[in-house]
């Protein structure tokens, strides 16, 4: 093979693999072993050596340095057929040696092209005679990653071999040779592939705006006349009379009426009491409730006293039926404690009432 043809082939391999390279491959700096086989094409005045093309192989141990460079030590052996000249004894040429290689990777990816330069020595033996030589091997190659722990590798090298021939003819004092070496093998990294840290940048935490603090003295949620700062009994039933702490004292049950001269609740009054019962169940205070019944001034005091007690009991029974579990007591006060003028019909209607009174016990 002509030397110019070899150089052109090296350039073609490098250019074609660069097109498919992916420059974004993550870095992997493991040690590795790389067994390989070789084909040796003898160039120059190889007839002076009296041998033919041959084969060989070897093993390299290497280390990834950074995103571009690998270094490795490579042991090699080769065998060439012979002889081809009358002055060379019969027998194969056996060569063993080693090189120190530096590889420059253009990129790290699934396909990774590289240039290589190796420098080392070679010891050749034939028919009991041995000679050592200095070798220099520039070249180019590529790797193809099948998995994280297995890569195929191939390169082409021009070997410059400086040595005195073992059996030179008198008129051919050749001591420099140029051979072409084609290597094919695989690379096995040692250990697991390192996992690169991934940084998850959380979005900045935007502080929530601080709500403007509302003055509790300006609030009265249960509308009982005591502001939220002072109200110790929030949620008081609407319409209740409360103390200075906002706790209920009494509630006049408006629109609660009975059949004439009877303790039977009207249907409209039951609807009103049903709403009152719901409010009482929602209200957290479970103190004793006294149900007070009152009458207007018509009729005798004794009769009104009994009627008011019966009406108070009717209200108590209805509320308990609706699920009120506060302790409850029914009391009748007749025509005592009027809240309006008994001389008018309007006043007498207001005095005929039922009240709920919280005793605080």
| CATH number of the domain residue 345 falls in | 3.30.1330.60
Lowest mean pLDDT among 161-175, 228-242, 331-345: 161-175
Rounded mean pLDDT of 93-102? 91
Whether residue 36 sits in one domain with residue 136: yes
Half-sphere exposure of 169 (CA within 13 A, CB side): 13
More confident residue, 296 or 35: 35
Q: Are residues 53 and 148 in the same domain?
A: yes
Clarify whether residues 10 and 138 are in a common domain: yes
Residues 6+ positions from 348 with CB-CB distance below 8 Å: 296, 297, 298, 340, 342
pLDDT-derived band at 118 (thresholds 50, 70, 90) equals: very high
Question: Which pLDDT tens digit goes with each residue over 238-250?
Answer: 777 777 777 777 8
Q: Which residues pair with 182 in a beta bridge?
A: 39, 156
Q: What is the pLDDT of residue 173?
A: 42
Report the pLDDT value the prediction gives residue 23, as an integer from 0 to 100: 39
Last residue of a domain, one of 165, 189, 213: 189
Q: Judge whether 347 lies within some domain.
A: yes
pLDDT band at 151 (very low <50, low <70, confident <90, very high): very high
pLDDT at 163: 64
Tell me, what DSSP letter sits at residue 237?
P
Report the domain count for the chain.
2
Q: Are 255 and 298 in contact (CB under 8 A)?
A: no
What percent of the chain clears pLDDT 70, i.e. is strictly above it? 80
Q: Look at residue 211 and tell me if it is in a domain.
A: no
Query: In whole numbers, what is the pLDDT of the chain averaged over residues?
Result: 79
What is the CB-side half-sphere exposure of residue 172 using CA atoms within 13 A? Answer: 17
Tokens 């790290």 -> residue? 108
Least confident of 134-143, 167-176, 185-194, 271-280: 167-176
Split at pLDDT 50, 70, 90, the class of 361 is low
DSSP 148: T
- Find the domain containing 295 and state its range: 253-358
Flag the least confident range among 58-62, 79-83, 280-284.
79-83
CATH code, domain carrying 137: 2.40.160.20
- Verify that 276 and 182 share a domain, yes or no: no
The residue with greater pLDDT, 351 or 13, is 351
Q: Which string of DSSP letters, residue by residue, matches 297-332?
A: SSS-HHHHHHHHHHHHHHHHHHHHHTT--S-EEEEE
Whether residues 179 and 262 fall in one domain: no
Q: Is residue 90 very low, low, confident or very high in pLDDT (cuts 50, 70, 90)?
A: low
Q: Are residues 16 and 149 in the same domain?
A: yes
Residues 22 and 149 in one domain: yes
Structure-block tokens of residue 57: 């192989």
Is residue 85 assigned to a domain? yes
Within a domain: 124: yes
Min mean pLDDT across 165-174, 218-227, 271-280, 329-338 is at 165-174
Instruction: Tell me the mean pLDDT in the region 83-95.
Output: 62
Q: What is the pTM of this model?
A: 0.47
């Amino acid at each position: 093979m002509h030397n110019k043809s070899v150089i052109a082939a090296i350039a073609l391999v490098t250019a074609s693999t660069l097109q498919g390279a992916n420059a974004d491959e993550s870095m992997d700096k493991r040690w590795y072993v790389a067994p390989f086989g070789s084909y040796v094409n003898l160039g120059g005045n190889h007839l002076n050596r009296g041998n033919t093309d041959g084969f060989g192989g070897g093993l390299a141990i290497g280390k990834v340095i950074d995103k571009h460079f690998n270094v490795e030590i490579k042991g090699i052996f080769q065998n060439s057929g012979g002889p081809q000249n009358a002055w060379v004894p019969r027998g194969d040429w056996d060569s063993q040696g080693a090189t120190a290689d530096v590889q420059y990777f253009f990129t790290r990816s699934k396909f990774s092209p590289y240039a290589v330069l190796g420098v080392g020595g070679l010891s050749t033996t034939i028919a009991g005679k041995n000679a050592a030589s200095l070798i220099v091997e520039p070249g180019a190659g590529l790797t193809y990653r099948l998995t994280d722990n297995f890569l195929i590798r191939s390169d082409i090298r021009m070997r410059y071999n400086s040595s005195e021939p073992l059996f030179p003819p008198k008129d051919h004092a050749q001591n420099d040779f140029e051979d072409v070496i084609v290597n094919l093998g695989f690379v096995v990294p040692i250990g697991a592939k390192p996992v690169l840290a991934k940084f998850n940048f959380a979005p900045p935490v935007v502080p929530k705006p601080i709500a403007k603090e509302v003055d509790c003295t300006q609030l009265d949620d249960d509308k009982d006349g005591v502001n939220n700062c002072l109200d110790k009994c929030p949620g008081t039933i609407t319409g209740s009379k409360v103390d200075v702490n906002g706790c209920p004292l009494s509630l006049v049950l408006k629109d609660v009426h009975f059949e004439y001269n009877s303790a039977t609740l009207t249907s409209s009054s039951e609807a009103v009491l049903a709403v009152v019962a719901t409010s009482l169940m929602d209200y957290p205070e479970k103190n004793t409730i006294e149900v007070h019944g009152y009458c207007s001034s018509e009729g005798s005091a004794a009769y009104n006293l009994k009627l008011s007690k019966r009406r108070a009991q009717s209200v108590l029974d209805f509320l308990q039926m609706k699920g009120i579990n506060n302790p409850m007591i029914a009391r009748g006060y007749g025509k005592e404690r009027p809240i309006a003028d008994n001389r008018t019909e309007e006043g007498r209607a207001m005095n005929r009432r039922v009240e709920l009174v919280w005793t605080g016990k």
